[in-house]
């Protein structure tokens, strides 16, 4: 029979192994805002020499984000969108650290990134780590405002279709553009006649939309997908989190007016409370005074009789 001490030791060892496996492999998700620098983490499985390091993003052509080969960076097949934007976090790759830094991220950097390493004892690069990068924008608005949901096409190629969706709705379409015109066929009823392209010409790939007269129910996550001439299906290009605040608003007033209304309401409430309190005190005093007069009346009569 296994002792309690032995069981505890095995449990601790299993926990440590799980932590090590989780830290060195598997898939992780990173959320960033446009303009930030992010680190795509990856560590070689052993201390052997790293002959080749490949960071790729499936779906791109070519799909290379960063390649280290023959003891130096190899830009030969790097995708143009990553030129001069990716570098090793540690050029010495100490302790097998082959993480890379991706600079000045944009919405089009959203996607899956895979890290592969070829070491002295391996013949081909082996998949070590998968990182899901989401580049999203956070917008805060007040009821009644118009907001811009920003999105830009990945390239300058012809834009065949644009889809703005909000997952969780049925249907989930917020705005659809295809065949050179808006297509309201499957648009969710709550967005009818409230969404339009910011630039109807979509210059420089700008497929941002304006959402008019926002309400509390517009709070949520909005996804932008673009179909271009070289793509087979609309590609996720941008994610925007919209929050429509409710604090400080009464009957659709602005924040300042709402605060002012709140202060006035508080003052009126306190005044009414003070008046009611005074009335109660006055009534109580009168009642006690009346009772005192009634209790003292017999004594007065008795005194008169004695005179």
- The span from the first CA to the last CA of the chain, in angstroms, equals 108
Structurally, the chain folds into a number of domains equal to 2
In this prediction, residue 277 carries a pLDDT of 62
Mean pLDDT over residues 62-89, rounded?
95
Confidence of residue 293 (pLDDT cuts 50, 70, 90): low
Average per-residue pLDDT in the chain?
79
Range from 7-16, 77-86, 177-186, 256-265 carrying the lowest mean pLDDT? 256-265
Does one domain contain both 240 and 149? Answer: yes
232-242 per-position pLDDT tens digit: 788 888 889 99
In this prediction, residue 60 carries a pLDDT of 87
| 282/102: higher pLDDT | 102
Q: What is the DSSP string of 199-227?
A: STT-GGGB--EEE-S--GGG-EEEEEEEE
Question: Final residue of a domain: which of 211, 244, 277?
Answer: 244
In a domain, 269, yes or no: no
In a domain, 104, yes or no: yes
Question: Final residue of a domain: which of 102, 135, 168?
Answer: 135
Does one domain contain both 168 and 233? Answer: yes
In a domain, 231, yes or no: yes
Distance CA 248, CA 255 (A): 5
In this prediction, residue 284 carries a pLDDT of 63
What is the reported pTM?
Answer: 0.54
In a domain, 18, yes or no: no
Confidence of residue 26 (pLDDT cuts 50, 70, 90): low
Does one domain contain both 87 and 162? Answer: no
Does one domain contain both 154 and 94? Answer: no
In a domain, 86, yes or no: yes
195-211 per-position pLDDT tens digit: 999 999 999 889 999 99
In this prediction, residue 304 carries a pLDDT of 38
Which among 150, 156, 161 is positioned nearest to 232, based on CA atoms?
Answer: 161
Domain extent for 152: 142-244
Residue indicated by tokens 């890379």:
100
In a domain, 250, yes or no: no
In a domain, 226, yes or no: yes
244-267 per-position pLDDT tens digit: 997 544 333 333 333 333 343 444
Does one domain contain both 45 and 147? Answer: no
In a domain, 55, yes or no: yes
């Amino acid at each position: 029979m296994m002792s309690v001490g032995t069981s505890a030791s095995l449990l601790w060892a299993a926990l440590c192994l799980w932590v090590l496996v989780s830290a060195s492999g598997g898939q992780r998700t990173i959320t960033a805002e446009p303009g930030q620098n992010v680190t795509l983490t990856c560590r070689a499985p052993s201390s052997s020499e790293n002959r080749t390091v490949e960071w790729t993003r499936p779906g791109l052509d070519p799909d290379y984000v960063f390649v280290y080969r023959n003891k130096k960076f190899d830009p030969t097949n790097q995708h143009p969108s990553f030129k001069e934007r990716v570098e090793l976090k540690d050029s010495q790759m100490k302790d097998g650290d082959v993480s890379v830094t991706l600079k000045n991220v944009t919405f089009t950097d959203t996607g899956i990134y895979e890290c592969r390493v070829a070491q002295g004892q391996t013949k081909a690069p082996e998949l070590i780590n998968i990182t899901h990068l989401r580049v999203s924008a956070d917008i805060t608005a007040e009821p009644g405002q118009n907001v811009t949901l920003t999105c830009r096409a990945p390239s300058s190629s012809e834009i065949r279709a644009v889809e703005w969706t909000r997952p969780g709705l049925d249907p989930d379409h917020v705005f659809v553009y295809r065949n050179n015109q808006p297509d309201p066929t499957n648009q969710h009823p709550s967005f009818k006649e409230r969404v339009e392209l910011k630039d109807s010409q979509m210059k420089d790939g700008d497929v941002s939309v304006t959402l008019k007269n926002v309400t509390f129910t517009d709070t949520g996550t909005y996804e932008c997908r673009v179909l271009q001439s070289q793509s087979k299906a609309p590609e996720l290009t941008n994610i925007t989190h919209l929050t429509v605040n409710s604090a400080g608003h009464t009957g659709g007033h602005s924040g300042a007016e709402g605060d002012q209304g709140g202060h006035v309401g508080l003052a009126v409430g306190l005044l009414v409370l003070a008046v009611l309190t005074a009335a109660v005190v006055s009534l109580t005093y009168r009642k006690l005074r009346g009772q005192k007069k009634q209790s003292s009346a017999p004594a007065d009569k008795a005194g008169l009789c004695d005179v």
